[in-house]
Structure 1
Amino acid sequence: MGLDVINLGLPKSGTTTLRLALEAAGFRVADHRLKEREDPQDPSDRAFVGAMLYEGLYKRGDPAALLRDYEALTEISFIYGGNSIWPQCDQALLLALRKLHPKLRFVATRRDTEEMARSIMRWNNLGKLRLPLSNVPGLPVGYGYELDEQMIWIDGHYEALAHWFRNDPFYMEVNVADPHVVPRLERFLGRKLPWWGQANANPADRSVSTDTTPTEGRG
């Protein structure tokens, strides 16, 4: 087993939908936190996927070193305990992954920019508090309180990815609302996806019923 696909999408871009789809297809997925590596007796203990990527890079020389038990990573950013970690925005880390794992597939989930920004703004305290008060690549402290600021940040992220991965056959941006998303992903991943839907939606956004439970800061 080893990493086969990493999602570089931002929160509320369809990350939970992708996780469920990949799990249904048989992938072993790490999403946001590795709860099996946390001390259940210590409520402050958190094992975040993003932290594992950086520990792997700086302590082992390979961002994937501590995540070899997984085939897919679907949510890799986090804001917690004064830390604001965004591997999907770090060109140096992504370049290290590409050099060390030349056939690693990168997916970037996204939605309509305004819909995505509105979803971020409504999701618990993510858009109204945590993002504007944290150092986020492309969105310095004090920015992100307004919808148009969120939209600039969102578009900038995906434009940067498109530039970094131009002509890379192992990168694909995925609009989760695209009616052709499933066959496109199946061709890209080389595996059938028996499930696709809308997961972890804000109540106002929910158009497809799911059995998932919303988790703070993700989507």
Structure 2
Amino acid sequence: MSLQAVNLGLPKTGTTTLAKALRLSGLSVADHRLRGRQVDDPVLKKQFVADVLYRGYFATGDPLAEIPGIGAISEMSMLNSERSLWPQCDFALISAIRTHHPGVKFLASWRDPFTLSQSMLGWNTMGIERLPASAIPGLPSGYGETTRERVQWIEGHYATLSHWFRDDPDFLLFDIADPTAPEKIGAHLGRDLPWWGQLNANPDMDRERA
């Protein structure tokens, strides 16, 4: 299966929902970490998508060199106490994906920046501890503790995507709160999405898409 779609949205913007929708449309989807059903090599199972992409990129030039059977990527960042990798913010890597996989369609899942900031704040210490402690493109170590800093980072990421992909027919930015989002995504990818819902919601906040 050739690569069909890559989502460049930030975490907590409906990426888990998007993964399921694309999977049910018939694509093999990599979402944050690789699952057993997506790769044959047992060494790759449970590895972070970001790590696999960077290994392929620096070893061969093709970020998907190690996962040629993947049809879509719904979420590619990695953030833990040891490492911080954000391929969706790396335009050299994104350009390499396009070069090695002509015809790939890019998506950017989006939600209101304040709402997204609050969702990050309330999910597994992401906003409270991990964002300020990590070096992230557009959000250097020591920043991201306040709502204002997180919102500015979020707005900056999507403004940069809109700049780089301006007037590009292979790019679609969509609002996960838009009831017509599934139709827009399906039209962009040229395939029907038989399902759309809400997964991985934050139990401590309003019922948000993850």
Task: Tell me if TM exceeds 0.5.
Answer: yes
Q: State whether structure 2 residue 168 is matched by structure 1 residue 156.
A: no
Displacement after TM superposition at 1:39 (Å)? 5.7
2:95 corresponds to: 95
Aligned counterparts of 1:93 and 1:70: Cα–Cα separation in 2: 17
Question: Which whole-Å deviations, capped at 9, do the CAs of 1:128-151 have from their partners, x for residues lacking one?
Answer: 111110000000011111111110
Aligned identity (percent) is: 47
2:206 corresponds to: 205
Say if 2:202 and 2:208, in contact at 8 Å, map to a contact too: no
Q: Unmatched 5+ residue regions in structure 2? A: none
Question: Which whole-Å deviations, capped at 9, do the CAs of 1:80-109 have from their partners, x for residues lacking one?
Answer: 352100000001111112222231111010
Q: Unmatched 5+ residue regions in structure 1? A: 209-218
Aligned pairs for 1:1-219 within 5 A: 1-36=1-36, 47-80=47-80, 82-203=82-203, 204-206=205-207, 219=210
Displacement after TM superposition at 1:51 (Å)? 0.8
The structure-2 alpha-carbon separation of the partners of 1:207 and 1:122, relative to structure 1 and needing over 3 Å to count, comes to closer
Say if 1:57 and 1:64, in contact at 8 Å, map to a contact too: yes
Aligned counterparts of 2:20 and 2:134: Cα–Cα separation in 1: 29
The structure-2 alpha-carbon separation of the partners of 1:163 and 1:49, relative to structure 1 and needing over 3 Å to count, comes to same
Say if 1:79 and 1:85, in contact at 8 Å, map to a contact too: yes
Displacement after TM superposition at 1:17 (Å)? 0.9
Secondary structure of 2:99's counterpart equals helix
Aligned counterparts of 2:208 and 2:48: Cα–Cα separation in 1: 30
Q: In structure 2, what residue type is equivalent to 1:117?
A: S
The structure-2 alpha-carbon separation of the partners of 1:207 and 1:144, relative to structure 1 and needing over 3 Å to count, comes to closer
Q: In structure 1, what residue type is equivalent to 2:60?
A: R
Root-mean-square deviation (CA), in Å? Answer: 1.8
Aligned counterparts of 1:125 and 1:136: Cα–Cα separation in 2: 16
